[in-house]
Amino acid sequence: MAGLLLGEAAIRDKKQAVQTQSYGPESRGGAARSEIVISDQQIDYPKVIEADVLVALSQPAFDKYHSIVKKTGTIIIDADLVKCEIDKIYSVPFTKMADSLGKKVVANSIMLGYLQASTEAISIKSLETTLREKVPEHTIELNIEALYRGIDFRKKGK
């Protein structure tokens, strides 16, 4: 879902985007992976070769994928779900922050906001528009609040 939202926001920004995923976990449980390539130019190879950014929200995901991140890249983890000993890493309590908003599921929207502020690969406006269209109607305002919590959290340099 986060990958889909990022891709659609990138398209709204008039960029190119390709998203691929591991299939099935949404319906079958287990670790889910979404890869997304965003570019101003035509994207030939649809997969991530070296990642600029990795967001890992579980320990197995971090263990499996952290090695594909570039030396100059960014790794963002959920502070309470992933333990790691790498220094240059952004450890953010997405799940806890979501809990404080009253719904754990909006952790993803907080993460998207944080990711937007970290990379600026997509605009806030496009991300907000996409989120408004994609989430269930009764959760729109909560998700938007979550999105801005994530953006603010990053901007405050945390």
Partner 1 sequence: MILNQKEYNKVVKTISKNKLFVQGDEAYAYGALLAGCRFYAGYPITPATETAEMMSQLLPRIGGTFVQMEDEIASMGAIIGASLTGVKSMTVTSGPGFSLMQENIGFACMTESPCVVVDVQRSGPSTGQPTEPSQGDIMQARWGSHGDYEIIALCPNSVQESLDLTIECFNLSEKYRNPVLLMTDGEVGHMREGITIPDFKEYEIFDRKKPTKPPADYIPFLPDKGEIPQIADFGCGYHTYITGLTHKPNGLPSTDDAEIHTQLVNRICRKISDDVDQLSKVEELYLDDAESVVISYGITSRAALYAVKMLRSEGIKVGYLRLITIWPFPEKIVRKIGDSVKKIVVPEMNRGQIIHKVRESVGNNTEVLSLPKIGGVMHSPQEIAEMLKE
Q: Which residues bind partner 1 (CB under 8 A)?
A: 3-4, 7-8, 11-12, 16-21, 23-24, 44-47, 49, 133-134
Which two structure tokens, joined as six digits, stand for 49? 């070769």
CA distances from 90 to 13, 41, 72, 120 (A): 26, 29, 13, 16
Q: State the nearest-atom distance from the C-beta of 62 to partner 1, in Å.
A: 22
Phi, psi of 122 (to 5 degrees): -135, 160
Minimum distance, C-beta of residue 132 to partner 1, in the bound complex (Å)? 10
Q: Which is nearer to partner 1, 77 or 121 (CB)?
A: 121
Smallest separation, CB 98 to partner 1 (Å):
25
Q: Would you put residue 104 in left (φ > 0), alpha (ψ -120 to 50) or beta? A: alpha
As measured in angstroms, the least distance from the Cβ of 149 to partner 1 is 25
**Neighbouring residues of 85: CB distance < 8 A, sequence distance ≥ 6:** none
Closer residue to partner 1 in complex, CB, 17/89: 17
Nearest to 77 by CA among 39, 115, 48: 115
- Tell me whether residue 19 or residue 95 sits nearer to partner 1 (CB atom): 19
**Nearer to partner 1 among residue 14 and residue 156 (C-beta):** 14
